[in-house]
Amino acid sequence: MKPYTNRYWNVTMFNSAFEIIGEIEAAGGEAYIVGGAVRDALIGRPIGDVDIATSLRPEEIQNIFEKVIPIGIEHGTVMVRYHSESYEVTTYRKEEGYEDFRHPDEVTFVGDIREDLARRDFTMNAMAMGKDQTIVDPFGGQQAIKDKVIQAVGHPKERFFEDPLRMIRAVRFASQLGFTVESKTEEAINEQAPLLKHIAIERIANEMIKLLAGQHFSQGFHVLCTTGMMEEFPLFQSQFDVKSHVPYVSLNSWPEAISYFVEKGIGENVKDWVKEWKLSNQIRHSAESIRMAYKEFQLTSSITPWLVYRLPRSLDQSFVRLIQAIHGEDHRWQVQLSEQANELAIENRKDLAFQAADLIQLFHDEKKGSWIEEYMTRIERTVVEGNIKNDYETIKEWVQQWNRPVNN
């Protein structure tokens, strides 16, 4: 085998991993970089985690390296800390029996990297790279990348029965890479989509948001619908239509995705989505903030200062993407939001020159009540909208002209 080279190749990104492999080989073992890191390097995508497979057992790896964490030692996996980076190192293995549709009932350590690669999901993920940069590719992963196809290793039905989540992973890769799903692999997905009911919704949600955020998301949506997978997802059953429900741009987070689908009539509200997909309260709060901002946007078809003021800055990009997902990609919304944010008179109520204590003092004869919040919101909005200067005397003089508060 010859070292792999292409115009994207940058071997330095694997230097530390190659050093780990060298240490393992010096101890009499064999080791390779495996999985997504090899795939992404060949495609030219940014490299994430770098995983290593080895012929040595976990206890032997522990004897070689100074810092080793036994994160899954019963399945042959340890975490090696090397040059302040973490690397999962797993013994070559084969797996049998998947009663829970996720974890193998039996794991057997083997001595051949090819046996280890045979248990993986797709051919493009079933490659290994040695420290001399040679590629072990027993299932045609390089050709699959060249042809831009996602193909299951071996028999697709067996791979998907082992872990039905792999079906969503196939579509997620189609969305991210723009690859097509190979015909036999797609046929197996179409037949086995109902197996997804055995998968925890949290796992599905993790893959789903990556799919929605993919550069080729419309392609992913198409596969979801044509294979019947969409029917297996909470709130999507029989409601999703490719022609009317596919967004114009990708949805990069659950808050913006939820906001988009609720606006399109899929699910009645944010709480339904959070409950059915078992999402966090933080996601719920963010989605509700984006929904509130979009309702404000609908009133004027513009991004107003009051809208921008109430929208948390961390959600600016999600809100713009929501508008673009519904109305089409248009950079003017980003420009408008940025301009409004930069011109805000105040960033929050604490910045007001006239506070609640001043209001109470001004109407000291009145009993405290809901009027305080009502009046402060009125002051706040008027200052934000630029209709009055944020100055104590100016606000005080203006408030004095109001009718006296009415307690509820």
Q: Per-residue pLDDT tens for 161-210?
A: 999 999 999 999 999 999 999 999 999 999 999 999 999 999 999 999 99
Q: Is 39 annotated as a binding residue?
A: yes
5-9, 141-145, 317-321: the lowest-pLDDT one: 5-9
Q: Is 120 annotated as a binding residue?
A: yes
Q: How many residues does the chain have?
A: 408
Tokens encoding 268: 């009645």
Q: Is 51 annotated as a binding residue?
A: yes
- Domain borders along the chain are 1-147, 148-246, 269-344, 349-399
Cα 25 from Cα 5, distance rounded (Å): 23
Q: Which helix (H) or strand (E) segment is 32 a member of?
A: strand 31-34
Q: Is 159 annotated as a binding residue?
A: no
Q: Is 169 annotated as a binding residue?
A: yes
Q: Which fold has domain 1-147?
A: Beta Polymerase; domain 2 (3.30.460)
Q: Is 36 annotated as a binding residue?
A: yes
> pTM of the entire structure?
0.87
Q: What is the mean pLDDT of the chain?
A: 92
What interhelical angle do 371-384 and 392-399 show, nearest 10? 130
Tokens encoding 184: 């036999």
Report pLDDT for 158.
Answer: 93
Report pLDDT for 344.
Answer: 96
pLDDT tens figures, 248-290: 999 999 999 999 999 999 988 999 999 999 999 999 999 999 9
| Dihedrals phi, psi of 355, to nearest 5 degrees | -105, 175
Cα 156 from Cα 192, distance rounded (Å): 10
Identify the three-state secondary structure at position 81: strand
Tokens 């067996």 belong to 158
- What is the rounded average pLDDT of the residues 338-357? 96
β-strands 31-34, 68-72: how paired? unpaired
State which amino acid sits at residue 310. Answer: R
pLDDT tens figures, 77-91: 999 999 999 999 999
β-strands 85-91, 128-129: how paired? unpaired
CATH classification of 349-399 is 1.10.246.80, yes or no? yes
CATH no., domain 148-246: 1.10.110.30
Cα 81 from Cα 382, distance rounded (Å): 56
Tokens encoding 50: 């770098």
State which amino acid sits at residue 301. Answer: S
Assess whether pLDDT exceeds 60 at residue 140: yes
Cα 326 from Cα 269, distance rounded (Å): 17
- What is the rounded average pLDDT of the residues 231-255? 87
Summary count for the chain: helices (H), strands (E):
20, 11
pLDDT tens figures, 252-261: 999 999 999 9
Q: Is 102 annotated as a binding residue?
A: no
Report pLDDT for 13.
Answer: 75
Report pLDDT for 101.
Answer: 59
pLDDT tens figures, 359-386: 999 999 899 999 999 999 999 999 999 9
Q: Is 284 annotated as a binding residue?
A: no
Assess whether pLDDT exceeds 80 at residue 104: no
pLDDT tens figures, 293-341: 999 999 999 999 999 999 999 999 999 999 999 999 889 999 999 999 9
Report pLDDT for 98.
Answer: 64
pLDDT band at 10 (very low <50, low <70, confident <90, very high): low
Report pLDDT for 48.
Answer: 86
